[in-house]
Amino acid sequence: MTAPHGQVPLAETSPNGRHPAGSRAGPPGAGPEPPAPEHGDLAESAVHLAGGAEAALGPGPFAGFGLRQAAGVLRIAGRQAVREPQALLRGASGAGRELLRVALGKSEVAPDKGDKRFADPAWRENPVYRAVMQTYLYLGSGVDGVVDNLGIEGVNAERARFALTLVREALAPTNFLLGNPAALKRSIDTGGGSIRSGIANWTGDLRHNRGMPSMVDRRPFRLGENLAATPGAVIHRTQVFELIQYTPQGATVYQRPMLVVPPQVNKYYALDLAPGRSMVEYLLKQGIQVFCISWRNPTGAQRDWNFDTYAQATIEAIDAAREVTGSPDVNVMGGCLGGMTVAIVQAHLAALDDHRIHSATMTVTLLDCESDGRMFLFATPQSLALAKKASRRSGVIDGWQMAQVFAWLRPNDLVWNYWVNNYLLGKDPPAFDILAWNGDTTRLSSAFHHQVLDLAAGNQLARPGTMTVLGTPIDISRIACDTYVVAGRTDHITPWHTCYRTSQLVSGRSQFVLCSSGHIQTVVADPKHPRLGYYLNPETPPEAEQWMAGAQRHEGSWWEHWAGWLADRSGEQVAVPQSVGSPRFPAKEPAPGTYVHQ
């Protein structure tokens, strides 16, 4: 396997015989900003054209790359086109023939089956709208050809494709009032009321949502009432976290508890959404004793919090759960950055020959960061240094910045969909629990943010001994307990092929599960949800595609399979405790506690 052009090649093997990835861009230094390159890396040139660190706060505080940098990429591609105009003329004759067929109403160009933008009947029945749609779809489908004809190669080609895709999606006719027949009909039906409502929504978002269209109406939701409402109590609080123990919901419980370690980039209650959709509630009904960390939302005063801080807090939570339940060890679960934290804690404890963790579940988690996803597509030493500079100034990366990262990775679903709904149709955004959680953002301390950048750029968790936490060189291959790894087939943040590599990095037995959904829906997979499915294969061959070739699809939620896997690793069933907590860790106030409100 070779790295994309402009990236460091992969190492041949790791000490445990597996295949880790190499460095994405080399660990960024803390020295002065590098000068703008005259030639070579497209991302670094784009950062320079966009204006440096002050422009690095668009969709990419993790990688120092924003919308203005995307514009810089387009400017570079435009200069290339001016120098080589013949590149754009290749295939022009074929395009001319197809556009003539469009004009004559004979074209067969049609939207993909899942493209909801063109669902209105007018796109099929009105010849003008049909021609506009077909012209847009045909020209938009030529993005790959344009990049190829310009002679851009390797990772620079992927960067150019991404920038051009942002432009293509922005120029969809459905994003404009006159180009959206559904919006025009609604404006007539409402006597212009939808236009007035759309303007009001737009001005509200300019004032309160930094110009991004709101994804959710949060007004119907109340923490502790219809979100994060599973009964329990805070039994331990530090400056870093609160530990919640949930009230058992059966006649007996398994002796060994489950500790949930949520990601630091979100609040914990994605796992405790509305009653009936809560993973915590589901586990309690299976007899699992559940404890959950709720991280404090850092401010500039906590700028020095780092992986040491979060790893030590996780160990403290493990010990509290052990003391309360009388169990010598625990099962742990972590998702996304929480999964990284779990893996780091496991490797640290394993190096000390400490067996406080009996099994681990990691959902949508990248330990090997050599990914084909877009999250670090523009990661270069220069762009990462600029991202560090931005967070160092305030001491934190704000949650809204991170939310914009994820939105612009899927612009049709997470930006333009709401643009049309809120502004052109004049409707309120939907009131949906998972979107309410997604909009309840958190901050990252600058020290932790810098470490995450270094971890990803240097692919440190896939390179034993590169990262040190709590004084211990981290070697993921030391993890010898059973591991349950979950990924989403359509996940755009943590691609499933990359998540699969976790099964090759750890030395214990692994069960890999591939869900049919995306990043968030993979975790929030309540069994009542229609059309869910997941893939299982008891083996973990070296490559993800080999695993997929031998996998079988199962209908329903992976929670059901996971509950059985957990039950086999949760010890004997014992009587339900009379109350949550213990004399050392007494119940303080009801769940969801206080930190979740910050």
Answer yes or no: is 287 within a domain: no
Looking at residue 404, its pLDDT comes to 81
User: How far is Cα 87 from Cα 71, in angstroms, rounded to an integer?
Assistant: 20
Position 473 in a domain: no
What is the model's pLDDT at position 402? Answer: 77
Q: In the chain, how many domains are there?
A: 1
In a domain, 264, yes or no: no
Tokens of 365: 């988690």
- For helices 127-140 and 92-103, the axis angle rounded to 10 degrees is 160
Q: Domain range spanning residue 159?
A: 42-181
Write down the pLDDT at residue 56. 32
pLDDT of 74 reads: 65
298 within 8 A of 445, measured Cβ to Cβ: yes
Instruction: Confirm if 439 and 218 have CB atoms less than 8 A apart.
Output: yes
* Element at 318 (helix H, strand E): helix 307-325
Residue type, 134: Q
Residue 113 DSSP class:
T
Catalytic residue set: 336
Round to whole Å and give the CA distance between 288 and 250. Answer: 9
Q: With respect to residue 176, please indicate whether it lies within any of the assigned structural domains.
A: yes
Strands 396-397 vs 444-445: parallel, antiparallel or unpaired? antiparallel
Say if 413 falls within a structural domain: no
Q: Show the tokens assigned to 521.
A: 């829906």
Residue 171 lies in a domain: yes
Q: Is residue 71 part of a domain?
A: yes
Supply the pLDDT for residue 319.
98
pTM of the model: 0.83
What is the rounded CA–CA span in Å between residue 375 and residue 371?
A: 9
> Quick one: how far is CA 177 from the chain centroid?
32
Q: Report d(CA 414, CA 530) in Å as an integer.
A: 22
Name residues whose C-beta falls within 8 Å of residue 313's C-beta, 6 or more positions apart in sequence.
Answer: 238, 240, 241, 293
Q: What is the pLDDT of residue 24?
A: 38
Q: What is the pLDDT along the chain (598 residues), one digit of tens a residue?
A: 333 333 323 233 333 333 334 443 433 333 333 333 333 444 444 333 333 333 333 334 444 445 555 666 666 666 666 666 665 556 565 778 888 999 999 999 999 988 999 999 999 999 999 999 999 999 888 877 777 777 777 777 777 788 888 889 999 999 999 999 999 999 999 999 999 999 999 999 999 998 999 999 999 999 999 999 999 999 999 999 999 999 999 899 999 999 999 999 989 999 999 999 999 999 999 999 999 999 999 999 999 999 999 999 999 999 999 999 999 999 999 999 999 999 999 999 999 999 999 999 999 999 998 876 666 666 667 777 877 888 899 999 888 887 887 788 788 998 999 999 999 999 999 999 999 998 898 999 999 999 999 998 899 999 999 999 999 999 999 999 999 999 999 998 899 999 999 999 999 999 999 999 998 889 999 898 888 999 999 999 999 999 999 999 999 999 999 999 999 999 999 999 989 999 999 999 999 999 999 9
In a domain, residue 422? The reply is no
SS (H, E, C) 82-111: HHCCHHHHCCHHHHHHHHHHHHCCCCCCCC
CA 388 from centre of chain: 20
Give the DSSP letter of residue 178: T
